[in-house]
Amino acid sequence: MKCTCVLVLFMISHVIADWHNDFDTGVNFECPSGQAIYKIKSYHDNSREDRVFEFFCKNFPTSFSKCTWTNYVNEWDKPFSATCPYNGVIVGANSYHDNGREDRLWKWYCCESNAYYAVNCYETPLINDWDAYHEYTAPSGYFIHGVAGYHDNNREDRRWQYNVCQIKTY
């Protein structure tokens, strides 16, 4: 009985989450002005061979002076590693899903400012297992500076890793 209740609770949490895309559709997300991404959730569905994503933003300690979208940072079914230039932080995400390839191409919206510097940056371990839910929250005072992932064609999923930095203002 205990396992059933946990499973039902887990399923309900996925139904009421505020996903920023549907399966097999694109992602187009930007934080409100003055905020940056610090948390990401994702859920994989094997029947659709795709993921839904939810991004969480919080106030950034300084104002941004420059924001730009990257080009696509990956090729279909290939690994990628992308970090924002000049100690920038990620404030938005855009992806395109292809049902034939069962993968996504990704762009990231990066913002920077000369009023802060990034220290104590590090790469997280891989956050998720294949076909599994994942949730990552940057530690207090840290923001997401980069994202890496690699795809497996047999599993039609991607494993995720983040580069995070502590932000210090001048």
pLDDT tens readout for residues 59-106: 999 999 999 999 999 999 999 999 999 889 999 999 999 999 999 999
Give me the pLDDT at residue 20, please: 86
Determine how β-strand 35-45 pairs with β-strand 50-59: antiparallel
Question: Is residue 21 very low, low, confident or very high in pLDDT (cuts 50, 70, 90)?
Answer: confident
Mean of the per-residue pLDDT values of the chain? 91
Burial call 32-41: b when 16+ CB within 10 Å, e when fewer = eeebbbbebb
pTM beyond cutoff 0.75 = yes
Domain that holds residue 64: 2-169
In angstroms, the CA 45 to CA 79 distance is 20
* Number of folded domains that form the chain: 1
Please say if the pLDDT value at position 9 is more than 50: no
Other beta carbons less than 10 A from residue 28's beta carbon: 13
Tokens representing residue 170 in the block: 């001048």
31 compared with 86, residue with greater pLDDT: 31
Question: Do residues 162 and 124 lie in contact, with contact meaning Cβ atoms separated by under 8 Å?
Answer: yes
Question: Do residues 90 and 37 lie in contact, with contact meaning Cβ atoms separated by under 8 Å?
Answer: yes
